[in-house]
Amino acid sequence: MEVKIGVQHAPREIVLESGQSAEEVESAVSEALSGKAPLLSLEDDHGRKVLVPSDRLAYVEIGEPTQRKVGFGAL
C-alpha cells in the first residue's frame, strides 16, 4: 500500500510502501490527529518505522495496494 505524507514546512512529501492495511493506516492517522498519539508511526515493507509529529501533519494520502510487476516488458 502506498502512503504519502505531507509535512508542514517541508518541501517534499514522505512516500512509503507499507504492508499495513488501509484501515490500520487510517486508524493510526486519526489517533494522531485527534491528539491520542503525539506521533504518527507507520512501518514500511522493509521493517523501518516512519515517525512524524502529529502537529506537523499536512495531509496523508492512502493509495491502492500495489501489485508487483514481473519482467522487463514495456507498458
pLDDT along the chain (75 residues), means of 10: 94 92 93 93 92 95 75 64
- The answer as to whether 71 is a domain residue is no
Q: Is residue 69 part of a domain?
A: no
- The answer to the question of residue 25 being in a domain is yes
| 47: in domain | yes
User: How far is the C-alpha of 3 from the C-alpha of 17, rounded, in Å?
Assistant: 6
pLDDT given for residue 67 in this prediction? 66
What does the block give as the cell for 24?
490500520
Residue 71 three-state SS: coil
How many separate domains does the chain show? 1
- Say if 70 falls within a structural domain: no
Supply 71's cell numbers: 519482467
**Cα–Cα distance for residue pair 68/57, rounded to 1 Å:** 29
Which pLDDT score, from 0 to 100, does residue 1 have? Answer: 87
Let me know if residue 72 belongs to a domain.
Answer: no
Q: What is the CATH number of the domain that holds 43?
A: 2.30.30
7 inside domain: yes
**pTM of this prediction?**
0.79
Structural domain including 14 reads 2-62
